[in-house]
Amino acid sequence: MATKTIGSAVGRDFATLTLWSAYLNVLVLAAPEIGQMYADSEFSQAIGVTIGGYTGASSTNTVTLNCGPAQSFRDNANVQTNALRYNAANGVAVKWTTTYILPLTVSGTFFTADGLQMTGTGTNTEGGVRNTGTDNTVNNCILQFKPRLGTVNQAALFNNALRFTAENISLYVANAIGRAVQDSASTTTGLYVDITIIGLSSTATGFTFAYTGSPVKNCPVYGFTTDYSGTANGASTNNATDKGAFGGTNFGTSGQVSITSAEWQSLTSGSEDFRLSPSSTKLKDNGATTGPTTDIAKTTRVAPYDIGCWELVAAASSGFFFRNPSLSGLGSGGPFFNNPLG
C-alpha cells in the first residue's frame, strides 16, 4: 500500500489535489493507493480535477482519497455541535473557485472519496462530483455546489456508471437552478443511502434517475420544485419529501411526506446547519435500519435509524448516576450517589 500526503505544509508529497491526480494518472496499481489530505489550509482549486487514467485497479488494488489522522471534519472535537455545512475551519475542505468548470470528475475505477468537504463557489459550475467509472464510492462527505441548469449531467452529484455507491452525504445545492443528484447509468447496481439533499428553493429536481435506477434509502429531499423523478429500484425505502406525495416511481415506500424546514437545525441561507433538529418529528427514528452503522459524524446509529446523514444522539446526561441501594450486587465504587428516593 502506498500513501501520499496532500497539503500545503512543507513536507507533503503534493501541494494540490490536481497534482496528486496527475501522479495517480500514471500509476499501474499493484497495491492499494491512498491520497491522504491534510487541512494545512483550505484547498483552493481554479482547475477541475480528474481522477482516472491509472490501470490495475481492482477490489483489492483500490484508490482512496481521504484525510490524514484528525484532519477530517468528522474528527473535529466539536463535530457534534459544529453546524453541518461546508466550513474549512472544521477539517479538510476543497473549494473550486471558477465558474463553468466541472469540479471533480472520477473516470477511474475502484475509487473511494471519504471524509471530505467540497464546494464550488463559482456562480455556476458544470456540476459537482461527476462519476463515470465503475465500482466507485463517495462516503461521509459534505458537498455544496452551484450547478448550472444545462444538460442532464450537470448535477451536484452525477453518475452514469455501474456500481456507484453514495452514503452518508450532506448535499446542498446552493443556487436556485441546480440539480442535486442525477443518475444516468442505463444499468446500475449501486446504492444511495443516508443522503440529506437540500436545495435553496431550486427550480430543478432533487433526485433523478434517467433509467430504472439503484435503491435509494433514507434520503430526504427538501427545497426543489421537483423532489424525485424517474424510477428507482424497487428496494428503495424510507425516503422523505417536502411535497405532499412522492414524485417519480418507487421512491415513496415507507416514506415521509410534507417534511418542513423544522426537521433541521437551520436552513437559513448563510447559516445553514443540516444536523437533524431534536424536535424532528418525521426524520427521527423513521429510517430503515440499513446502510452504514455510523452517521456522517461517526455517531453510532441506533435502530430505528434517522432518515438522512445525521443520527440524533440522546441529550447528554448530567454525568452523575444514582445508585439504588435496594439493588444488591452492585459495586460501591465509581461515581455513584445513593438515590435518596431509592
Residues making contact with another protein (CB under 8 A):
4, 6, 8, 10-16, 18-19, 22-23, 25-26, 46-48, 50, 52-53, 55, 98, 102, 105, 107-108, 126, 130, 132, 151-153, 160-161, 184
Q: How near is the Cβ of 167 to another protein at its closest, in Å?
A: 23
* Phi, psi (deg, nearest 5) at residue 302: -120, 125
Tell me whether residue 104 or residue 143 sits nearer to another protein (CB atom). 104
Give dist(CA 70, CA 64) in Å, integer.
Answer: 17
Of residues 15 and 302, the one with the C-beta less far from another protein: 15
Q: How far is the CB of 128 from another protein (least distance, A)?
A: 13
Helix (H) or strand (E) holding 130: strand 129-131
In contact, 228 and 205? CB cutoff 8 Å: yes
* Cα of 165 vs its chain's centroid, Å: 11
CA dist 150 and 121 (Å) reads 18
Going by C-alpha positions, the residue among 17, 102, 27 that lies closest to residue 62 is 27
Beta carbon of residue 100, minimum distance to another protein (angstroms, whole number): 9
Place of cell 473550486: 96
To another protein, the closest distance from the beta carbon of 222 in angstroms equals 27
Beta-strand ranges (E) seen in 147-235 are 155-159, 165-173, 179-183, 191-209, 216-217, 220-229
CB of 55 or CB of 289, closer to another protein: 55
Please state the closest distance from residue 214 (CB atom) to another protein, in A. Answer: 17
Cβ nearer to another protein, comparing 21 with 214: 21
Closer to another protein at the Cβ: 160 or 286? Answer: 160
